[in-house]
Structure 1
Amino acid sequence: MIKCAGWLLVFLGAAHTLLALTLEGAARHAGEWFSGALWHEDFSDMSPANSALWLSLESFGPPLIVVGLIVLWLDRRGITPPEFIAWTLGIWGVVDAVILITTPWPLALLANILLLVGIRRAARRGNPAPHADATRMP
């Protein structure tokens, strides 16, 4: 379950980023992104180039890929991911669903449920998430 959740998180992050760059056409603004044209823009009055940047590369898509890869990395090493990852992403997904119902929040919710169930099952098998004390450096 943890592995499925990790792959689903990677998929959601990659799909969001790639679809924003291609289908939504955000990549056509790349010239402006790298020219410095956005350096002095006001967030309250975004240009199309700035909006495209925040929809694609500066969205939560790339960090969601990283979170999914971390979950997979932990699982591959037999380390149960901490529950706060699933709870934090779950809260974010619920807020996202309330604000904009047309997002793929059901897939994010599925990933969170899989992750939480996998974490709970691992804890019952005696493989709990590592405690903060165990990761401290001397």
Structure 2
Amino acid sequence: MIKWAGWLIVLFGALHTLGALTVEKAASHAGDWFSGALWEEDLSAMSAANSAYWLSLGSFGVPLVMVGLTVLWLDRRGITPPSFIAWTLALWTVVDAVVLAFTPWPVLLLAAVLLLAGARRAARPRCDAGTDAGAP
């Protein structure tokens, strides 16, 4: 469950960022981004270049990839990711769903549920068949 959650988070973040850069053509504003054109801009009156930046490279996509990769890294080492990651992701996803109903938020909610279920499963004491419970 934890591995699936990690991959879903990575996939969501990567597709969001790459989709914004390509499908939404945000990358066409890269010249403005790297020329310093956004440095003096007012965020309340965003230009197309500034909006494209916050939709792509400045969005939650890159940090989501990092969170997903961290979850996978922990899982590969047999470490259960802390449940605050799942709860924070779930809360943020619910807010996103309320604000923007027509986004792929169910993917992240599924990832949060998988993380919580995986953490719960990992926290349960294991009962190994064939061993004596009273043995040292």
How do 1:61-76 residues align onto structure 2 when only pairs under 5 Å count? 61-76=61-76
Q: Which residue of 1 aligns with 2:119?
A: 119
**Residues 1:7 and 2:4 are matched in the alignment:** no
Runs of 4+ off more than 4 Å? none
How do 1:24-35 residues align onto structure 2 when only pairs under 5 Å count? 24-35=24-35
How do 1:13-92 residues align onto structure 2 when only pairs under 5 Å count? 13-92=13-92
Deviation at 1:125, TM superposition (A): 3.8
Structure index of larger Rg: 2
Identity between Structure 1 and Structure 2 (%): 72
Unaligned stretches of 5+ residues in structure 1: 127-138
The CA distance in 2 between the partners of 1:49 and 1:28, in whole Å, is 8
The CA distance in 1 between the partners of 2:114 and 2:44, in whole Å, is 38
The CA distance in 2 between the partners of 1:54 and 1:13, in whole Å, is 14
- Per-residue CA deviations over 1:21-63 (Å, capped at 9, x if unaligned) read 0000000000000001000000000000000000000000000
Deviation at 1:78, TM superposition (A): 0.3
Unaligned stretches of 5+ residues in structure 2: 127-136
**Residues 1:97 and 2:80 are matched in the alignment:** no
Q: CA RMSD in A?
A: 0.7
Give the TM-score of the pair, scaled to structure 1.
0.90
Q: Give the match's secondary structure for 1:72.
A: helix
The CA distance in 2 between the partners of 1:98 and 1:7, in whole Å, is 24
